[in-house]
Each structure stands twice: as structure tokens, then as C-alpha cells.
């Protein structure tokens, strides 16, 4: 459903992505792995429309990606940004409802009922959010805010979820809870493009992966291919 063809990007004069080609299929979870500064966040911002490629093409279902971020969200591509960025003054419930803003704006009574069902589903996925539903999001722990940011994104019913380092700074147990939800998204029709430094964790829940260094894709393959390649493991995944 998503395809990047020979995409390049520069910040001012500094080129940071070089002819990147990458795809994410329907109901597929794909990870993008690489060190700090490799260009992962930049690549996601091109897909969510925060920046435009200098050259190359980004296609959604074979057609050019809509030009503006709002159009991209409306087309079903939603990003959970790095560092969470929940609305700290708003309650957990209000944050979740914000995720369904476009649906509520367009839809009638049936859509409002569907949004209420989805809200209940988010509380099943992340029970801790149910316990804190009326509290300001700013009172939540880092892990809870990450869950809220994911829940908010899922309230838009995305077809493709872009995740930027969801495990950053979180305790292993919280990371495991978040990764379990990510793993199950393709089975409910939501594809995933997951950027992670936790390579082993990401490969365990994704079908395929790409390895990017200094703005270039160096390797792509199934998670099993990447895990079984000794050189790749040593160079990119670190000691196991």
C-alpha cells in the first residue's frame, strides 16, 4: 500500500536520504532499523507529509501521496510521533477523542457510535488508560503516555500506522505490552511501519525489515533473513 521509490531528501545543503526505496504491504508490519542519525525520523516525516522529498516518489495504493498532512491522515496514514506528544492538559478521554476528530467531524450518529466502540476497544487494549480516563494526560507516566499516543492514533482507524521509537526510554514490561499491540495490528487490517533502535524486539513482531545507515538502505529482507545473517547481526544489531 505504501511505496517509496528512490526518495532523496536534504536539510538545506545536507543530504540525509539517498535514493531510498521501501514498501509496506497491506496487513504487513515492517521495521526500519538503524543507528542514531541514520535518517529514520526524516523518512517518516516524508510519509506523514511534514516534509517533501527532493526527488523520487511516495505512492499510496499506487497514487501519489496527498500533498498535505491532513490529507494523508484522511487517507488513513497516521503517525505516532517520537516523544509521544500527547495533549498534557486534556484528559485521557479527550486525547483519545481527538484521535477520532476527522471521523466525528464527517460522520453522523453511526460514526459517533463506532467511535464510542473504538474508545472502549482502546481501553481493552490498554487497561491502564481506563483507570486514568478522567485524568490529565500530563499526569501519566512515560509508558502510559506512549500507550495514549498509540491509542489516540488508532482512534483514527488508520490503514497504516507509523511508529517512531515507541520503546524509547520505557521499562521492558511496558515495551512488551506496546509491542504486543503493534504485533496484532496487521490482523485487524492496519499495516505498520515501525522505526526502532530495539532491533531484536522490532524484528520479533515484524514480517520484514530494512536496515538504513547514513541515509541509505543497506539491506532488506524478512525478519528471519536479518536475524540469521551473522554479519548483519554483528554490524547492526549488536551482541545478542
Instruction: Please report, as ranges, the residues that interact with ligand ATP according to CB under 6 A.
Output: 11, 14, 16, 34, 36-42
**Residue 161 C-beta: closest distance to ligand ATP, Å:** 17
Candidates 178, 197, 208; CA nearest to 27 is: 208
**Residue 134 C-beta: closest distance to ligand ATP, Å:** 34
**Residue 217 C-beta: closest distance to ligand ATP, Å:** 12
- 167: number of Cβ within 10 Å: 22
Burial 104-127 (b: 16+ CB within 10 A, else e): beeeeeeeeeebeebbeebbebbe
Q: Is 109 helix (H, G, I), strand (E, B) or coil?
A: helix
CB nearer to ligand ATP: pick between 16 and 237: 16
CB nearer to ligand ATP: pick between 32 and 148: 32
- 228: number of Cβ within 10 Å: 11
**Residue 12 C-beta: closest distance to ligand ATP, Å:** 7
Strands 208-213 and 216-222: antiparallel
CB nearer to ligand ATP: pick between 34 and 209: 34
CB nearer to ligand ATP: pick between 150 and 212: 212
**Residue 51 C-beta: closest distance to ligand ATP, Å:** 9
Candidates 48, 38, 33, 47; CA nearest to 17 is: 38
CB nearer to ligand ATP: pick between 15 and 121: 15
Q: Report how far residue 173's alpha carbon sits from residue 143's, in angstroms, rounded to the nearest whole number.
A: 10
Amino acid at each position: 500500500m505504501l511505496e517509496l521509490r528512490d526518495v532523496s531528501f536534504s536539510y538545506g545543503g545536507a543530504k540525509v536520504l539517498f535514493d531510498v526505496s521501501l514498501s509496506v504491504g497491506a496487513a504487513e508490519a515492517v521495521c526500519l532499523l538503524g543507528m542514531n542519525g541514520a535518517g529514520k525520523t526524516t523518512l517518516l516525516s516524508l510519509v506523514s507529509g511534514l516534509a517533501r522529498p527532493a526527488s523520487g516518489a511516495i505512492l499510496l495504493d499506487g497514487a501519489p501521496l496527498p500533498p498535505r498532512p491532513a490529507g494523508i491522515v484522511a487517507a488513513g496514514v497516521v503517525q505516532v510521533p517520537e516523544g509521544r506528544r500527547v495533549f498534557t492538559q486534556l484528559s485521557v478521554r479527550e486525547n483519545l477523542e481527538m484521535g477520532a476528530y476527522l471521523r466525528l467531524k464527517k460522520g453522523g450518529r453511526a460514526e459517533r457510535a463506532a467511535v464510542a466502540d473504538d474508545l472502549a476497544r482502546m481501553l481493552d487494549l490498554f487497561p491502564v488508560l481506563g483507570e486514568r480516563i478522567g485524568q490529565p494526560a500530563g499526569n501519566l507516566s512515560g509508558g502510559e503516555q506512549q500507550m495514549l499516543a498509540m491509542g489516540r492514533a488508532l482512534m483514527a482507524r488508520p490503514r497504516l500506522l507509523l511508529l517512531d521509537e515507541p520503546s524509547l526510554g520505557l521499562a521492558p514490561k511496558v515495551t512488551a505490552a506496546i509491542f504486543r499491540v503493534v504485533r496484532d495490528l496487521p490482523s485487524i487490517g492496519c499495516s505498520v511501519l515501525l522505526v526502532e533502535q530495539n532491533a531484536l524486539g522490532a524484528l520479533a513482531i515484524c514480517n520484514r525489515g530494512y536496515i538504513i545507515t547514513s541515509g541509505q538502505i543497506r539491506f532488506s529482507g524478512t525478519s528471519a533473513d536479518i536475524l540469521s545473517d551473522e554479519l548483519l547481526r554483528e554490524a547492526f544489531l549488536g551482541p545478542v
